[in-house]
Amino acid sequence: MTDTAVTDSERLRAAASSVLLGNWAGGSTVPSRTLYPHQWSWDSAFIAIGLRHLSPRRARRELETLFSAQWLSDGRVPHIVFNDSVPADAYFPGPDFWQVGVPGEAGLTGTSGIVQPPVHALAAWEVHRTDPEGSFGLGFLRRLYPRLVQWHDYLRVHRDLGGHGLASIVHPWESGWDNSPCWDAPLARITPADPTTYVRRDLAHSDAADRPTDLDYGRYVRLCTDYREADYDDTRIEHAFAVEDPCFNALLAVSEHALADIAEAVGADPAPHRERAGQLTSALIDRLYDPESGIFRCRDLRANGSDSALIDELSASGLIPLVIPGLPDDIVRTLLSTASGDRFGLGRVHLLPSYDLLSPAFDPARYWRGPSWFNIAWLFHRGLRQYGAEADAKQLREGLLDAAGRSGFAEYVDPHTGEGRGIRSFSWTAATTLDLIGDRG
C-alpha cells in the first residue's frame, strides 16, 4: 500500500469517527442530529458494528441501551427509543403519539410500538469478537443473550401471521425499506389518516421530492393509529398490512446463526438456534424465492382478501438472503446473476440500488424507491464475500468507501450519479465505512 493510500484511509477513518462521536447522545447514537434525534433499532445494530472499531465499550453500551427499552410484556424491541432530552414534538410520530412508557428507565420517555429488522444478534456477536476479554469480563453476552432470545421469540411466535414459519411486518417502517414500491399495492387498501390531525416533521429537514408522499404518509399514520388502539396486541388486531419480507427474514436467519455462536460462548445450547436458522432458510426459499425472476420477492398476506400472493415488484431486499450461510448453490448463482444484471447493475452503478432500475416506479432520489443505501451495500458485500465473489466484493467495498467520503457520509446516494441525498453525517454510513476500512475484500 502506498503512503498516499494510507493517508487517504486514515483521513476517511478520522472523518467517519468524527460523525459517530458527534452523533453520540450519552448512551446511544442518533442516526442524525436533525431528522432522527432519537435511537433507532436497526440503525443501532449497524452503528455498534462500526463503533466496535473505536470503542468496544461504547458499542456494547449502544446495544444495551436499546435493549433496556425492550418490552417485558412480549419481548419486542421497538423501532424507536425516545430520549427525554429531546423535545417531544421534535419528531413525528413522537412519544405522545405512541403512548408507550418505559417505567424506571432514566433518560427514556418511551418507545414506538412497531419493530425493525433483527440485526442485533449479529451486531452483538461482532462486538463481542472485537474485545472478547472485555466482553466476558463485563458479562455483556450473558446479559444480552436472554433478551435476544425473547426478541426472536416474539417474531417467531407473535409475527408468524402466515403460519409458515416466517415473520411478518405490519407496517412499511418495520421493513427498514420504508417507502419501497413493494408496499404500493398493500398500502392502496389503507384509508389514510386525516392530514389535519398530525404535522410531518421530516419535511423541515429533507427535500419533499426525496421523501414519501403525503398520501403514503397518511396511510403510515393510519396503520400506527390502528395498532395503538389495539394496544399493540397482535392477537387483538387483524393487521390490514401484513407482508413477509425477504430482507427482514434473512436477517432473522443470520441472527439465529449468530445467536447460536453467542449461546456457545455463554454455555447455553446452540442447537435450537441453528435449527431455527435452518427452518427460516427453508421457509424463505419455499415462500419467497421466485426462480423465474431470479430473486426473492415479498409476499402480501392480505392480497385477494385472504389469499396471499407474491408482490410483483423487484427490490434489492430480495438479494439480501445472500447473507445467509448454506444457501443452495443454484440460488447463490442466480442471485449473483440478478444483482449484476440490468435490473440492479452491480459493478456498473454506485453501490446497489434499492429497487429495479428498469421499473417505471424507479426513482433515483426518493426514499427507498431506487437510491443506494450504505447499510444495504454493507450487507450485500458480506454476502458476496461469504460465497467467494471476491472481485465483486472488492469493487463494492471500494465504491462504498469512495461514495461515503465524497458525499459527506450521506444517508444514501443516487445510483446513477453517486450524488449524496438525504441527511449528511449519517451514522450508519459512517459505521459501515469504519467496518470496511479494515476489510480488504
Nearest to 48 by CA among 63, 35, 34, 37: 63
Cβ neighbours of 126 (radius 10 Å): 17
Quick: pLDDT tens for 305-357.
667 999 999 999 999 999 999 999 999 999 999 999 999 999 999 999 999 99
State the catalytic residue, choosing from 131, 226, 411, 414: 411
State the catalytic residue, choosing from 126, 160, 178, 419: 178
In this structure, what C-alpha cell is assigned to residue 45?
A: 445494530
Cβ atoms 121, 259 nearer than 8 A: yes
Nearest to 100 by CA among 69, 68, 66, 63: 69
Nearest to 217 by CA among 239, 242, 185, 195: 195
**What average pLDDT does range 283-309 have in this prediction?**
94
Cβ atoms 347, 340 nearer than 8 A: yes
- Looking at the DSSP assignment, which residues form a beta bridge with residue 24? 29
Quick: pLDDT tens for 395-406.
999 999 999 999
The residue among 214 and 266 whose pLDDT is bigger is 266
Q: Is the pLDDT score of 256 beyond 70?
A: yes
Q: Is 326 exposed, middle or buried (0-12, 13-18, 19+ CB in 10 A)?
A: exposed
Q: Is the pLDDT score of 69 beyond 70?
A: yes
Separation between Cα atoms, residue 51 and residue 16, nearest integer Å? 10
Does residue 93 have a cis peptide bond before it, meaning omega lies within 30 degrees of 0? Answer: yes
Separation between Cα atoms, residue 332 and residue 328, nearest integer Å? 6
In this structure, what C-alpha cell is assigned to residue 202?
A: 421530516
Told to judge if 264 belongs to the known catalytic residues of this protein, a careful annotator would answer: no
**What average pLDDT does range 130-156 have in this prediction?**
98
Told to judge if 411 belongs to the known catalytic residues of this protein, a careful annotator would answer: yes
Q: Is the pLDDT score of 197 beyond 60?
A: yes
* Helical pair 390-406 and 374-386, crossing angle rounded to 10 deg: 160
